[in-house]
Structures are given as structure tokens and as C-alpha cells.
Structure 1
Amino acid sequence: MALQAADRLLAGKPYPLGAQWDGLGVNFAVFSANAARIDLCLFSGNGRKELSRMPLPECTDEIWHGYLPNAALGTLYGYRAFGPYDPARGHRFNSHKLLLDPYARQLSGPVRWSDALFGYRLHSARGDLTPDRRDSAPTMPKGVVVDESFHWGNDRPPDVPWQDTVLYEAHLRGVSMLREDVLPHLRGTFAALCDQRFLDHLLDLGVTAVELLPVHAILQDRFLLERGLRNYWGYNTLSYFAPEPSYLATSQLHELKVAVRRLHAAGIEVILDVVYNHTCEGNEFGPTVSWRGLDNASYYHLVPGDERRYLNDTGCGNMLNLPHPRVLQMVLDSLRYWVECYHVDGFRFDLGSTLGRDHNGFDPDATFFGAVLQDPVLSRVKLISEPWDLGPGGYQLGNQPPGFAEWNDKFRDSVRRYWRGDAGQRGELAARLAGSADLFDRRHRRPWSSVNFITAHDGFTLADLVSYSGKHNEANGEDNRDGTDNNHSANWSPDGSVEGPTDDPAILELRARVARAMMATLLLAEGTPMLTAGDEFGRSQAGNNNAYCQDNALSWLDWKQSQTPQGQTLQEMVRRLLSLRRRLYALGAHRFAHGNHEPVPGIGDIAWFDTAGQPPSPEAWADPDIRTLALRRAERAELARRSLRGGQGGQGGPAQVTLVLLNAGDTDAVFHLPEPALDWQRLFDSSQPELPEAGLPVAGATLQAVPAHALVLLAAQAEPPPHARPATPPHSIPQEPDA
């Protein structure tokens, strides 16, 4: 297209990056260290016609920039980058390909798949070495110039302390697609996320934060679309600043802000699952939609000595080159943008080990971690890492830096194996229930660093964990080869032959009992509990443990299940346990306990016992056939309060003591309660979750029966010696205001 004099850009400024409207025009700025020229392309309102193409007139410190007077909000734009197409040297410039601005705040729509999206000629005998000359603009979404102003009113982050946090991992689309009480055009969008009935559900459970699977704009995989499937989970990022267009019912960005505002008003935090380890462009045979075309050699980790290839410790084809200062800047700018513009309260980092890889492998003091932790905005929000990737030395559980919590898959596997009845699991479970101090008690970290879970989006649901011995992923179209085979699950039929649904009441009762025991273990353990949406009422995925491509009723939450007797029983149990967790401060330790401190004489802050009421001997810990365990924890109220304020606890006051009795065996067990004898109250029995505290028999001072496949919670107050008692009288077990 020939350039007209009126189309020329003014110099503009190199900062901020992206397209910034100032009321008089728009400043465009984009990074490329190796491009010879970058053109700004403007499009008609429907994005179909390229109206103008103008070279960015200035390049300052490798930032190309220009200012377009009189450009309006809603302007659609993209870039074309000129430079060598030389894959052997890491360069893949192709000006025939329209490129998304990495800083685009909104996209005009989805990618429409075509061979023209590839920078090389598909099916060429030379592989990716021959550039393709077709224009990709008709198939590409465009960036949209937006006004980011919003009246937040008196919005304040809930700022829930970590030790009080309860996470609820959910898919934005999945939580509302089957909600018949939500208007059809709002289902699957941010507008439905803040529906008051959903907020009431979270509040009733006791959830404090929703952790949303990726909401950044997604590139749908071509191979999935050809199978009639979609990338449902969204770990295939197309833009780090723009929300997924299909999640906006009104196509207006304020919809997302309204959702966050309403969640905050309810006291619920919003945490985003983010994917900064790789992009949607894949390996050398993937499409060219943004970063690859702008500066492949800068944005990606390439194989040293073979820059045609990409390092792939993510298993997704590529890795962002975070040690590069401009790439790191993009990630930090993106994170800060979501905090400052959308008021989100934190992030869960997919494949966090990749983010901690500098040039010599994983390092807890890597550039990325250091940059986040010193940032005055980002260091104050909740940070959660998935502490593994597929590269060498990629499993780094417990090795993320202080300030980051971590998904604890050892907790998941230990709880699953213990309640399945596997041999030799007592010692491992004991460590996990105590906050995994063996992994996290270093560098002044706290028990909340362990994000405990038994299920997540990736894997079986809780209902399927007790209904299937193996995965059933045939619907994914990969002949059941995808997804892990290491599920630690069981179908709990007498001979193991009944997979999935059954009408056998004995099997159903046993499955429900084991599921309740696992859920109770999660909610009573030290650390930060994470629920997976729908587990609280028994959601099933028909045995599919890798439903990443199932954007349908298989993955969506069926809220009708929440109204069934079984669903209501499980929901009430979750609500009750989280209420107990709030009431019983001995259950939520603010520091790791090691049994070397006695809140009152004779009762340590943590202790383990066998059914005889004695600490297990080394031989007993090693006995593979024992499937019972008792955990006692103690804490003084005054010590807990003062420690949370940063002060020193006094010596007076009663101690609150809890005793969790676990029996993963096939027969009932009788526990001799440990000395000293206390006036125990029996607060919960997972085999009878419907019974209120008043309906549970009061435990004696010496014996307590625990049914098979069940967990029982006891609590008591322990008085200090008379000379150490406070002037005010001790209180009984605290009650909820409405109890």
C-alpha cells in the first residue's frame, strides 16, 4: 500500500509500551531488537480492511514508536515487522504476517485458522526454511485502542491473611454454563461470575478466594478444532494483557472490573492462573501471530548453537526468554497491569520452575523471582507457584523463594494413597498434615506456603477419584493415551470390576465415605486448602482425568447435583469443617510446630499417637500394615493472637487442643486417648457428617471409637497450672455467632 503524506506518524514516545490514548491521539510503542523496520497497520471497524500502513518513525533503545494525532478509541491495529528470515540464526521476520501487539489491551475477536498464519510455507520439502508470502491479516484478530478508566468507588482488596485463606479453583466458563437461573447470553462470562447466587454459595462454604483458570486471550488449537474440540483450560496464551474475548458478554472491559468489584464487596479475593512460561506460538513449526514475528531471537529461549530450534522445558513447544530484560519487563508490566487496572489479588504461576530458570537452570534467586519480590505492587499480592516443569531438575517443590506459596502435590498423593489403604503411608501423611515442614520450614517460611489439594483441574474430580481405578479419556480422541496413569484412585467395588456409575448402595456408601474422609483431611490439615469447583457437591467428569479439551457438559459444573441429598450432605460438611477451621485456631498454626514447645505443661504444640495413646516407636512408624493415626495440636489463644500481630505470647491462658483420629482400615478402630486426660468434645465424624455437634456422643477421657474409612475430630481446653492462669476465666470451645 502506497503511503500518503497524511498517513505519516509523529515521533511519539518509547514509553509506555502498547497503544496509549491521551484524548488527542494514540502513542504506539513496541519492542524489537532485531527488526529493520516495523509498520503500524490500521483497520476498518470490522477488522476486514487494512486502511493504512505506516512505518514507526523512531526507535529508542530498541523500542519502536510513533504518535498518531486524532486517532480515536476503538481503533483497530496490528504490526508488520521487517528483517531477515533466517531460522538458523533465530530470525523469523516475515512482513506478510500481521502481528498482534504483545501489549494490546483488547482483541477484536479470535484467530481464524488458515495456512497463511504460518511464517513458513507449510508442506515444503525444506520444512520451516521457506518463508510464506500470503497475507495473514484476514485471519488475525486486531488490537483495540481502549479507554481503561473505571469508577472503582470505595473498592478495597479483601486482603485476607494467608493463614485464613481458602482457595476455590474454578473455570470462569464452567461455573455458569449450566446455570439455568442465569440468562443464556451471560453464561460462561465474567458477568455470571459475580452473580449473587454464586457469591452466596462461596460465602456459605467459607471460601475466601477464587482461583480462576487462565482468562488471558487464548489461541484455540487447530488440531482440536478439527476434531470438534476446544482448548477449554486455556493454557495457550495469545495475549498477556487482553482478556479472552469470549468471556466478555458485552465486549466491554468494564464487565471484568465489575466482576472483581462485586467479588471484593463480598470479601472474596480474585487470583488468576497465568501462563508466562510459554506462548501459543509453539515450536519452529507453529504459527506466527505476535512475538515470533516481532523478534523471535529475543522473546524465546533458543537452543544454543542451533537457533532454529526452541528449548522446550515446558512441553508446550517453547519457553519465554525471561532473562532478557525486555521480555521480563513485558511479564512484570502484565502482572502489574492486572493488579492496578483490574484489582486482582494474586496469581498462580503455571510451571513456576520454568520462570525460575536462568541460563544455568533453576535458581530460587532467579531474575524473575527477584524482580517480582522487590516490586512495590507485586510483592504485596498473593503469589502461588506450580513448582515443576518438564525440563532437567524441574521438580522444585519447596524450593520456590519466600513470598511464594506452592502447589503441594506430595500432599495430594499422600492423602490419596493413605485413604486408598496403601501400605506404609502413615509417616508420609503425618508430614503432610503438619504443613509439610520437611519441605517448607526454611528461610522463615510459614505453613501457608503449602497449598494443599487432593484434586485440581488437571486430574480426577473427587467423585471420580473414588469411582474409577483408571482414566477414561476416550472423548479426547487420543485413544486414552493422554493423561497420567498414576492417579492413586480406586473404584471401591469388592473385586474392582465396577468402574463409574452403579446402583449398588454398598459401593455408593463406601465411595461417599472415603471421599468425605479425604475432603476432611484436606480441610483440617496445616497449610492453605484448595478446593476444586464442584467437588463440594460431587461433580464427575466420567473418569476423564485430562479434560483440557472438553468445553462441554463433561467439564461444566452441573448445579443440579448440588441439590441432591448427596450433594447437600457434602456441601454442608465442607461448610462445617471450614467453620471449625476458623473457630479452632489450633488447626491453623501460624508457625511450624515440631513438638518442642508446650503451650501448657505436658501438652506439646504437635504430637502423634497410635491407638494405644502412645507416640509410635520407630518400628511402628515403619510398619506398612498400620492404617491408623492420631494427631494432637495445641495452641494458646493469646499466643496465636500476639504472634499474628508480630508480638510475643504470654505464659498465661488456656490452650486449645485438637485431636484428629484417622482410620483408613477396613474395620472400626478404638483409640486410647493420650495423656493427660481432657474434657474432650467430639465435633465431627466423617462417617456421620449429618450429625451436628450436639448430636455427637461426647468422647470419654480415655477411649474413642473411629469407624472404618473415617476421620474424627475432638477438641478440648487445657488449663495451665494455677500459678500461671490468667485473671480472667477461661472460655470453652469458641462458637460461630450463629451456632
Structure 2
Amino acid sequence: MSRLMSRPGHPYPLGATWDGEGVNFALFSENATAVELCLFDRADQEKETHVIRLEERTNQVWHIFLPEVRPGQLYGFRVHGPYEPRAGHRFNPNKLLIDPYAKALQGRVQWSDAMFGYRIGDPDADLSFDDRNNAPHVPKSVVIEQAFTWGDDRPLRRPWSETVIYEAHVRGFTMRHPLVPDALRGTYAGLATRPVIEYLQRLGVSAIELLPVHALVDDQHLLDKGLTNYWGYNSIGYFAPEPRYAAQPELVVNQFKTMVKTLHSAGIEVILDVVYNHTAEGNHLGPTLCFRGIDNAAYYRLKPDEPRYYMDYTGTGNTLNVRHQRTLQLIMDSLRYWTLEMHVDGFRFDLAAALARELHDVDRLGGFFDIIQQDPVLSQVKLIAEPWDIGEGGYQVGNFPAGWAEWNGRYRDTIRRYWKGDGGQVSELGYRLSGSSDLYEASGRRPFASINFVTAHDGFTLHDLVSYNHKHNEANREDNQDGWDDNQSWNCGVEGPTDDPAILQLRWRQKRNILATLLLSQGVPMICGGDELGRTQQGNNNAYCQDNAISWIDWARSPDDEAFLRFTTALLMLRAAHPVFRRRQFFQGRSIYGADIKDLSWFRPDGHEMTPKDWQQGYVRCLGVQLAGDRIEERDHLGNPIRDDTFLLLMNAHHETIPFQLPAHPEPRPWQLVVDTMQPVIPARAPLRAEGDRYDLHGRSLALLQMDTSVPGPRLRPRT
């Protein structure tokens, strides 16, 4: 083994950095006693080609510069220090470790007893010490060349008020796409193909939110069952794109960048679902892959009175320690890297409440949020929180700081309950349809702080939501005990597939009801990928381990699927054309002109405005809401007043037809039907209807009417 030339190098940037002359390696470890850099020629190599001891240590960062090393070099670290689990230390130099700052990984975890820092089967469990070498079984970190021809690509910075999010999985979106070449299916390159881009453009979405693409680990217990961690919420590398999604794994970074650049050129933003709350190393009985062996006490939240064990706010065995400045730095450096080097437009933070836990309680102004808010780069991108974790007090919908949007779980639950026919929902429904001002207005946020969704990757698809009363997760091989049981009762007759025309019609209508409600509500809508095509998971509401046809989008479409896709596309076009459905300010609900016209009005079926007593009636399942488009009181980015047409949205969750009297208006103009979910497609414009006319709103249906502005109304008095 020849000796490599070396220089002291620098403590920053962390990770492996190629500067054109050589590579600087830097690794943080507060409690280590020694660090070795190990170089490899192959990912499955058992013995390293070179072992270089890092002699320089600055501010707890071990570093060295190697002039002879080039991009493509495989490497890992061995870190020496105390193995004292009861004191929170789990150093074991027999375990080759992934660089937390690695920009690419090669190889996958090959499970064996050598992957654990303790002896499997020992009566003292994790208190024992394992001296086996795991090098052939652990992914190798890769030195990369970061140069890429971005051209004029830059962040799209699409306003939140113009944003429609499409949640998708890199692999599942194209695995069955007939127009994507076989070699590109399930890859970043597959998402960048013309058929996929044109589909997203025609559909009318503005951003694609990708399930985790950080390098991940397949859990051993899943592989033993013939399953995988398909969703990918098991990160081990916060800078490295997952190589299994690359058509050519050695080009994974370039292929990811090409995907982003191509989507940007089509006007589509890229948002990443990121998992900074926990890692793939699990609890105290988990493997030693990276953070645990580098500095367990710094990277993880340990129980104060028993540091052998981990605080677990995520249900995965561990929680990252964002109270430690270096762990916080890791997350911030990762976010900046994906923003500046990989050009992504935003992030959705999995179980974000776990990041706010300074001590035990969720702290709304935790250090993590303070730092992001003042960061000149990250404060400008889209930031979306999943505002809960599984710990005590972890449900934090509405409590995140200004600058953050949130998955609005209360919106999801309310819309589901209403269209199921549950009573007592109208008061909550009013807030959810109008942007959830009760959750966001007091903190100075806007309606677009609410990410509205009814279905997501976690749970039933839209089709299954109205087709199954209970979960059917048998394929997960946990005796259907996993996941949460919705216990739905959609009155759709039978559970699962059926040939009954009446039941099928009701299901499709309920899907139209839900989708129309989602796309006509104030806030930012998020569509679960494939819902617009009638995608089913056969009742599986926890398909995290199903990398197969259960999860992949089926692009073969029936006539009903085609009709629903056209319905979705037409609704998205309607939303894009009318700013009254995507206001940037909350409604005031009062007269703002001399004439008695409110920007938002709620009506009973008799055509009269709802009273406070009406809002409290538990049996009310039918109501209307009028959106005064010429009362938006907002201006565009050029300062021009925003004006729109006036719309009347009618909703009936009751099973019987209810005659709805069209309300009186100070500017008497006729109404024209735009949408009626009794019809499978958006209808051609129907004959005009005058105020006072009766509109028969069928059971479990929604209708949207638009005021015809071609008929002149009385002149309004100027506002004083």
C-alpha cells in the first residue's frame, strides 16, 4: 500500500471537496479520540486501499487535504473513541462509516451481523462490542465533481397564490408509463422525459413534490419479508440523491440536476420531502452506519437520565438532536446545498414538530426556525411543515412561524367528514373553505399558509377513500395491524371493486365532490399523484413498503378515468383563470363598498344568509358560499387592482335533493352553471338563471355558478 501525499487541509467545508487540485476531507466529531480516512477502489471491497490518519483537528473538526485524490474516489471513515453506551458513546472503529456530508453514495447496505456495533445475540445486547469489519457491506461515500451547465436556470419563485402541488414518487410515477423508455422508468431521467413533462403541463400543476430522494436504507425486517422501504422515509445521507433512482448510478448527481433543469424549463417547481427528524440507524439496537459511530451523543437526542436510550418523537427509534449546533449546521448546510447546488425550489419537512423540540415541549420559536427565518437563502424558498410528530403535544397545526406553510390536517379531516355526511361540520367547513383564518391570520400569515389536501401518500388514495370502509394492508405482511384505520363509512354499498352501476356512479361523484372542493378552496391545493387517474392501492392505506404495482401509477385509463382527468384539468384551468379562488388576503366577510356587497357571503338553501344560529346547527349539510370577485381588494405585482367575476358555490352532503334558491344580489345579473358534480365532465355553459330561481342540488353533489358580467348591473357608489 503506497503512502499518499497530504497536507493539513481546512475544517470547512465539511465533507469531501474537490477544488481542481485535490480533495479536502473534513469530519466533525466532538468526542472522538482519532479519525481514519479509508479509500476504496470498489463499493464491495473488503479491505481499504489506503488508510490515512487525520492528524489535524480544528474546532472539533478533523481534516486533511489529499492532492492525489480525484472525483470518483470512494471513501469512508473509521472513528475511534469510547464505547460506553450507558454514557451515550458508541464509537467502534471496526465499522466503516458513511460521511454525513457525502454528495453521492455507491452501493447499498448489505445486512449482516457485522453492521451492528454490538454482538447480535449477546445477553448484554448493545452493551457488548463487535469487532467485525463491515466494509464490504456498507455504501461508500463518493467524491464528486460539482460542475454542471445550468445555463440560465434559476429558482422560479412562483407566488404561493399561483401554486398547485402534485405529490409524487420518483419511481412510482413512471414505472408503468408506456411512453417512457424502459431504461428510464422509475428514475430522475424518467421524470424529465417529454411525455411526463407534457402531462404535468396539461394537467395544470405548478410544482411537483417528490417523496424523499435523500440516500436511504432498506430496513432489514422488510428485506427479510421480500419488501423494501419504498416511500424512503429512512434517510442516511442528507446531501446524496438516492442512487436507485438514477438510470446510471455513477451519474446520479448530474441526472438529478438535469431533471430539475428540465422541469424548470417547463415552468414546474421542484419541492423535496425531507426527513431531518430521524435517521435510518434506529434505536439503541440499530446498526452503526454513520452518525452513531461518528458522535452518537452529539447527533441524537438521548434520554437525559439514561443516555443509553434515545428520545423517540418519530416512531422510528431515534430523533436528531437539533439542540446541538453541529447537528443544526448539518441540516442547514444540507438545505442550502439542495437550494444552491441542486436548484430545488422548496422543502416539505416530515414530522416537523420534532425539529421544534428544544427540550421536551414543542417550542414554536425553536432555534431551527429562528435560523431559517434569518437565512438569506432559505427564507426565500418554499417551506412546508408536516406540523405534527408522535410525541406529547406534537400536533401543532397552525402554530408554525411566519414564512412557513403547513399541511393542514384539519382541512383534510373536515372535508372528509363533511362529504361522508357527518353532522356538525359546517362551522369548521366555513373556515377550511375560506383559507383557515382561525389558524393562520393571527400570526400574520396569509391563506396560502394552508396546504390543503384530502389524500396524500400516507393513507388511502382518493379512489380507495370512497371505496373502502377499512384498511386492507395484508400485503405488508403485518396481519393488517399496521397503518391507521380510517373507519370510513361512505354509504357506497359494498367495499372494494364492484360492477354495480349505482355504486360506481356514487363513488365517482364523491371523488368529483372532494376534488372540486379542494381546488375551489382558498389556500394551496395539493393533489396526491394518480388521484386524477383513479389510482387504487386495493385498500392499502400504508403502502410504504410496496415497490410494485400496488403503489405505481397505472397509466392505462378507462373511459371513467379519462373523464375524471378532464374534470380535474378543467377545474385547474378554472382556478388558474380566476384569482377569486386563490386570494392572497383573507376575506373580511363584510360590506366594503357603498352598496351592500360582501366579499364573502354564506347562504341557506332558502336563499337567505346564514345566521349565527345556523352555523351551530348540527344537522345542516347543505350551504352556499358567494365569492365576490370584484371585491378582492388586492393588487398584482405591478400594482394593478385585481378584479374577477362573482361565483356561487353550492354544496349538499345530504343524500336527498335539496332545492336551493339562488340568492338576491344588489347587482341583479343572471347566473350560469359552471360545474355540477352530477355530471362526469365540466358541462358546456348552461342557460342563464335569475336570482330567486330554484336550483335542484342533487344529493351528495356540488355545483358552481358564475355571475354573467355581460349583463350590465347598477353602478356602484364609490367607496369612501
TM interval, shorter chain, is over 0.9
Aligned to 2:135: 137
**Secondary structure of the corresponding residue to residue 111 of structure 1:** coil
Q: Distance in 1 between matches of 2:594 and 2:542?
A: 49
Task: Report Cα offsets for 1:402-431 as digits up to 9, x if no partner.
Answer: 111000111111111111111121111111
Identify the residue that residue 698 of structure 1 maps to in structure 2: 688
**TM-fit CA distance, 1:626:** 2.2
What is the rounded CA distance, in whole Å, between the counterparts of 1:699 and 1:168 in structure 2?
A: 36
Which shows bigger deviation, 450-459 or 366-375? 366-375
Q: Which residue of 2 aligns with 1:554?
A: 550
**Residue type at the aligned position of 2:690:** G
* Unmatched segments (≥5 aa) in structure 1: 727-739
Corresponding residue of 1:336 = 336
Residue 508 (structure 1) aligned to one of 504, 521, 528? 504
Q: Which of 678-687 and 535-544 deviates more? A: 678-687
Work out the CA distance in 2 between the residues paired with 1:224 and 1:615: 56
> Does residue 244 of structure 1 match 2:238?
no
Structure 1 stretch displaced more, 50-59 or 622-631: 622-631
SS state of the match for residue 335, structure 2?
helix
Q: Which amino acid aligns with 1:321?
A: N
Letter in 2 for 1:513: R
Matched position secondary structure for 1:548: coil
Task: Specify whether residues 76 and 482 from structure 1 end up closer, same or farther in structure 2 by C-alpha distance, changes over 3 A only.
Answer: same
Q: Distance in 2 between matches of 1:405 and 1:597?
A: 29
Contact 1:408 1:450 in 2 (8 A): yes
- Distance (Å, rounded) in 1 between the aligned partners of 2:34 and 2:273: 35
> Deviations along 1:440-489, whole A, 9 cap, x unmatched?
11222000000000100000000001110111011101111111113545
- Could you list the per-position Cα deviations for residues 206-229 of structure 1 after superposition, in whole angstroms to 9, with x for gaps in the alignment? 100000000011100000000000
| DSSP 3-state at the match of 2:260 | helix
Alignment of 1:199-214 (within 5 A): 199-214=197-212
Indicate whether 1:656 and 2:653 are aligned: no
Partner of 2:598: 604
1:722 aligns with 2:718: no
Q: CA deviation at 1:679?
A: 2.1
Provide the residue aligned with 1:735 in structure 2.
none
**How many correspondences in the alignment?**
711
Task: Indicate if the aligned counterparts of 1:9 and 1:56 stay in contact, CA closer than 8 A.
Answer: no
- Structure 1 contact 47–108 (Cα < 8 Å) conserved: no
Structure 2 counterparts to residues 143-542 of structure 1, below 5 A = 143-251=141-249, 252=251, 253-486=253-486, 488-490=488-490, 492-493=492-493, 498-542=494-538
Equivalence for 1:79: 77
The separation in 1 between residues aligned to 2:593 and 2:570, in whole angstroms, is 27
The aligned counterpart of 1:12 is 9
1:598, CA displacement in angstroms?
A: 2.6
Pairing 1:614-629 to 2, within 5 Å after superposition:
614-629=608-623
**In structure 2, distance between residues paired with 1:599 and 1:248:** 58
Do the aligned partners of 2:629 and 2:647 also contact (CA within 8 Å) in 1? no
Identity of paired residues, percent?
A: 50
Compute the displacement of 1:248 (Å): 0.7
| Residue identity opposite 2:691 in structure 1 | A
Equivalent residue letter for 2:202 = D
* More deviation, 247-256/546-555: 247-256
CA contact (8 A) 1:373 1:379 kept: yes
CA RMSD of aligned residues (A): 1.8
- The 3 A distance-change label for structure 1 pair 675 and 17 is same
Q: CA offsets, 1:633-655, max 9 Å, x none? A: 1133783335x55x696xxx976
Q: Which runs of 5+ in 2 are unaligned?
A: none
- C-alpha displacement of 1:156: 2.6
Q: Provide closer, same or farther for how the CA distance between residues 114 and 688 of structure 1 changes in structure 2, counting only shifts above 3 A.
A: same
Going from structure 1 to structure 2, the CA distance change for 1:131 and 1:479 (only over 3 Å counts) comes to same
**In 2, distance between residues paired with 1:722 and 1:287?**
74
Aligned equivalents of 2:643, 2:106: Cα separation in 1: 62
* Equivalent residue letter for 1:29: A
**Residue-by-residue CA offset, 1:304-352 (whole Å, 9 max, x unaligned):** 0210010001111111111211111110100110111110000000001
Cα distance change of structure 1 residues 350 and 622 upon mapping to structure 2, 3 Å threshold: same
Structure-1 residue corresponding to 2:655: 666
Contact 2:105 2:140 in 1 (8 A): yes
Shift of 1:557: 0.1
> Counterpart of 2:379 in 1: which secondary structure?
helix
Higher mean alpha-carbon deviation, 672-681 vs 543-552, is at 672-681
- TM-score (norm. length: structure 2): 0.96
Give the C-alpha shift of residue 44 in structure 1: 1.5
Q: Distance in 2 between matches of 1:655 and 1:94?
A: 66
Q: Distance in 1 between matches of 2:604 and 2:716?
A: 33
Structure 1 position 276, deviation (Å): 0.1
Taking the aligned partners of 1:131 and 1:600, their CA distance within structure 2 comes to 80
Aligned to 2:572: 578
Find the residue that maps to 2:394 and give its secondary structure: coil
**Distance in 1 (alpha carbons) for counterparts of 2:716 and 2:532:** 47
SS of 1:681's partner is strand
